[in-house]
C-alpha cells in the first residue's frame, strides 16, 4: 500500500511538472484527485487493511493528496501567469506612434489680452462696458472736450460716414455714454474694450482698425495717486513684476492733468536698444484725471466728483507681450499664427 502511494506521488508530480497548459493540469487533477482517482480508491479500500495499518496508511494517503493538490495549485498559477504574459506580449504596440489628437481651437491673441485685462480689473471691482463702433460726432469728440475746429482733432484722422457719424476713433465715447447714463451719480468703475478706427494705410505698424481698452473711474475724492497705483498694478500684472514704470506728463483734451506711462524695456533691461529706440523705455498707455469740462458735460459736478481715465492699445500690448513684429498678423488670421496662442503664457 505504502509503496503504491509513494509511487502515485512520484508519478503525479512528474505529470504536473510536465504539464503544458491549464487544460492538461485540469486533466491531471481529475485523474489523481477525482472521485474515480487512485487515491480515492485507496482510501475506499482501507477497510480491507489490518486495523493497526489503517491510521498510518490513511495519514500517508492524505499527505500524498495534499502534496499533489498543492503542486497542482502552484503549477496552475504558473501556467495562468504565463498565459497572461503571452497575451500581453501579443497585444504590445508601438507607443511612440502619434496619439489621436483632438482638434481644439483657441482665442485670438487680442481677445486673450482683452480678457486678461478685463479679469484683472473685475478683480478691482470694475464692470465691462461696451458701445457702438459707429459713433456720433458728439460722443466721439464733443462730449470729450474736443469741439469742432479744436486742434486736437488733427491728432485723429477719422473715417466719416456723414458730417455727424463716424467710425469711432477711440473707445472713450463709451465713457461719455456711461457717465451720461449715470445721471451725475457715482461711483463709476468701468473698463471698455472695443474696436476703433483711424484713417491709416495698413502696414507693419499701422492698421485702419485696431482695438483699445479704456478704463474710467468717477467718484468723490478720486486722486491722481489712485491712477498711479492702478496703472502700476495693471502694468506689473500684465508685463511682470520685474518691470519698472515711468509716468510722463502729456496732453489729451479729455484729461487734465494728463500723462503717458512707459515700462522698462524687457529686451535691454533699460539700457537702451533698437526696440526702445535707445531710451530704455517703451510707451504703453495714455491716462489722466478726467477733465472738469468732460465731467460737467456728461452730468457730473466737477466740484464734488473727480475721476481718472486711461486707454491702452490692445495690439500694442500683445505685440510687446508676445514679441509680434507686424500688426497685420492680427487681421490676416493665418492659422499658423493663431494657433501659437493655444498655449498658456
Partner 1 sequence: MLVSYKWLQSYIDLDGITPSDLAEKLTKAGIEVDGIEMPGEGLKNLIVGHVLKSEKHPNADKLNRCLVDLGEEEPVQIICGAPNVAAGQKVIVAKPGARLPGNIKIKRSKIRGEVSNGMICSLQEIGFTTKVVPKDYADGIYVLPEESEVGTEIVPLFNMDDAILDLDLTANRADCMSMIGVAYEVGAILNRQVKLPEIKGRTSAERASDYIHLKVETPQDNPLYTAKIIKNVKIGPSPLWLQTRLMASGIRPHNNVVDVTNYILLEYGQPLHAFDYDRFGSKEVVVRRAKRDEKLTTLDDVERTLTEDHLVITNGIKPVALAGVMGGADSEVQTDTKTVLLESAYFNGTVVRKASRDHGLRSESSSRFEKGIDPNRVREAAERAAELIAELAGGEVLEGMVEADSLTIEPVKIDFELGKLNKRIGTNLFVDDVEKIIKRLQFSYQVNGESFTVTVPSRRWDIRLPEDMYEEIARLYGYDHIPKTLPMDVSFGGLTPYQKKRRIVRTCLEGLGLMQSITYSLTSEEKYSQFAMEKADPIELANPMSEAHSVLRLSLVPHLLDAVSYNLARKNKTVFLYEIGSVFYSKGKNCQPEEREHLAGAMTGLYVDHPWQGKKEPVDFYTVKGILDVLFEKLSVSRFITYEKGQLDGLHPGQTANILLDGKVIGFVGKINPDMEKWYDVKDVFVFELHLGELLMKETDELLYTSIPKFPSISRDIALIVDREISAGDLQRTIQDAGKDLLKEVKVFDVYEGENVPAGKKSIAFTLTYYDPERTLTDEEVVVEHEKILTAVKDAHGAELRK
Q: How far is the CB of 242 from partner 1 (least distance, A)?
A: 17
Choosing from 5, 19, 57, 126, the residue that interacts with partner 1 (CB under 8 A) is: 126
- Give the footprint of Zn ion on this chain (CB under 5 A): 265, 267-268, 273, 275-276
Shortest reach from residue 276's CB to partner 1, in Å: 12
Q: What distance lies between CA 336 and its chain's CA centroid?
A: 19
**30 is in the binding site of which of partner 1, Zn ion, none (Cβ under 5 to 8 A by kind)?**
none
Per-position b or e across 312-336, b if 16+ CB within 10 A of its CB: bbbbbbbbbbeebeebebbeeeeee
Using an 8 Å Cβ cutoff, are 145 and 176 in contact? no
Which CB sits closer to partner 1, 51 or 151? 151
Bridge-based pairing of strands 188-197 and 127-128 is: parallel
- Residue 330 Cα to chain centre, angstroms: 20
Q: Choose from partner 1, Zn ion, none: what does 241 bind? Cβ within 5-8 Å by kind.
A: none
Stretch that binds partner 1, among 33-41, 52-60, 81-89, 254-262 (CB under 8 A): 254-262
37: number of Cβ within 10 Å? 17
The least CB distance from residue 202 to partner 1, in Å, is: 8
270 lies in the site for partner 1, by CB under 8 A: no
Of residues 274-313, those binding partner 1 (CB under 8 A): 277-278, 289, 291-292, 306
Which residues are paired to 190 by β-bridges? 127, 216
Whether cis (ω within 30° of 0) applies to the bond prior to 187 is yes
Whose Cβ is closer to partner 1: residue 121's or residue 300's?
A: 121
Nearest to partner 1 of 94, 242 (CB atom)? 94
Within residues 57-96, the interface with partner 1 by CB under 8 A covers: none
Least distance (Å) between residue 250 CB and partner 1: 6
Residue from the set 3, 50, 125, 344 that interacts with partner 1 by CB under 8 A: 125
- Residues 149-208 interacting with partner 1 (rule: CB under 8 A): 149, 151-152, 154-155, 159-162, 164-165, 167, 187, 189, 195, 197, 199-201, 208
User: Which span (18-26, 29-37, 116-124, 317-325) binds partner 1, by CB under 8 A?
Assistant: 116-124
Residue 256, marked binder: yes
Identify the bridge partners of residue 283 per DSSP, sorted by sequence position.
262
Handedness of CA 153, 154, 160, 166 (dihedral sign): negative
DSSP 3-state of 98: coil
Q: Alpha-carbon distance 263 to 312, whole Å?
A: 13
Rank residues 282 and 290 by Cβ distance to Zn ion and give the closer one: 282
Closest approach of Zn ion to the CB of residue 228, in Å: 23
Nearer to Zn ion by C-beta: 273 or 324?
273
Nearer to Zn ion, 74 or 277 (CB): 277
Binding-site size for partner 1 (CB under 8 A) equals 86
For the bound state, the minimum distance from the C-beta of residue 261 to Zn ion, rounded and expressed in Å, comes to 16
Task: Return the closest-CA partner of residue 254 out of 225, 221, 214, 222.
Answer: 214
Question: Cell numbers 487533477 correspond to what residue?
Answer: 29
Determine contact, residues 213/312, Cβ cutoff 8 Å.
yes
Give CA–CA dist 137/167, Å, rounded: 9
Residue 307 in contact with residue 295, Cβ under 8 Å?
yes
Alpha carbon of 276 to those of 266, 284, 287, 325: distances in Å?
9, 11, 20, 13
Binding residues, by number, are: 256
Binding residues for Mg(2+), by number, are: 256
Amino acid at each position: 500500500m505504502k509503496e503504491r502511494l509513494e509511487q502515485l506521488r512520484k508519478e503525479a508530480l512528474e505529470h504536473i511538472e510536465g504539464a503544458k497548459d491549464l487544460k492538461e493540469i485540469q486533466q491531471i487533477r481529475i485523474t489523481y484527485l477525482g472521485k474515480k482517482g487512485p487515491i480515492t480508491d485507496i482510501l475506499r479500500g482501507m477497510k480491507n487493511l489490518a486495523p493497526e495499518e489503517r491510521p498510518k496508511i490513511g495519514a500517508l494517503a492524505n499527505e500524498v493528496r495534499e502534496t499533489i493538490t498543492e503542486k497542482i495549485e502552484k503549477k496552475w498559477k504558473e501556467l495562468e501567469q504565463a498565459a497572461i504574459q503571452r497575451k500581453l506580449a501579443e497585444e504590445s504596440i508601438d507607443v511612440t506612434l502619434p496619439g489621436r489628437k483632438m482638434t481644439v481651437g483657441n482665442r485670438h491673441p487680442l481677445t486673450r489680452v482683452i480678457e486678461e485685462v478685463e479679469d484683472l480689473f473685475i478683480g478691482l471691482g470694475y464692470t465691462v462696458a461696451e458701445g457702438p463702433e459707429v459713433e456720433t460726432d458728439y460722443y466721439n469728440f464733443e462730449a470729450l472736450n474736443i469741439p469742432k475746429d479744436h486742434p486736437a482733432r488733427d491728432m485723429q484722422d477719422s473715417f466719416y460716414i456723414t458730417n455727424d457719424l463716424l467710425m469711432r476713433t477711440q473707445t472713450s465715447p463709451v465713457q461719455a455714454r456711461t457717465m451720461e447714463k449715470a445721471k451725475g451719480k457715482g461711483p463709476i468703475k468701468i473698463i471698455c474694450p472695443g474696436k476703433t478706427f483711424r484713417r491709416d494705410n495698413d502696414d507693419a505698424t499701422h492698421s485702419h482698425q485696431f482695438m483699445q481698452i479704456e478704463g474710467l473711474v468717477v467718484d468723490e475724492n478720486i486722486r491722481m495717486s489712485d491712477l498711479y497705483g492702478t496703472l502700476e498694478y495693471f502694468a506689473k500684472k500684465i508685463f511682470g513684476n520685474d518691470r519698472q514704470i515711468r509716468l510722463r506728463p502729456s496732453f489729451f483734451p479729455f484729461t487734465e492733468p494728463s500723462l503717458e506711462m512707459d515700462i522698462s524695456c524687457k529686451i535691454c533691461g533699460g539700457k537702451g536698444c533698437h526696440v526702445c529706440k535707445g531710451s530704455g523705455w517703451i510707451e504703453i498707455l495714455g491716462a489722466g484725471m478726467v477733465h472738469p469740462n468732460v465731467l460737467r458735460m456728461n452730468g457730473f459736478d466737477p466740484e464734488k466728483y473727480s475721476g481718472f481715465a486711461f486707454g491702452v492699445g490692445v495690439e500694442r500690448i500683445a505685440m510687446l507681450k508676445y514679441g509680434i513684429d507686424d500688426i497685420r498678423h492680427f487681421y490676416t488670421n493665418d492659422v499658423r499664427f493663431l494657433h501659437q496662442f493655444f498655449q498658456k503664457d
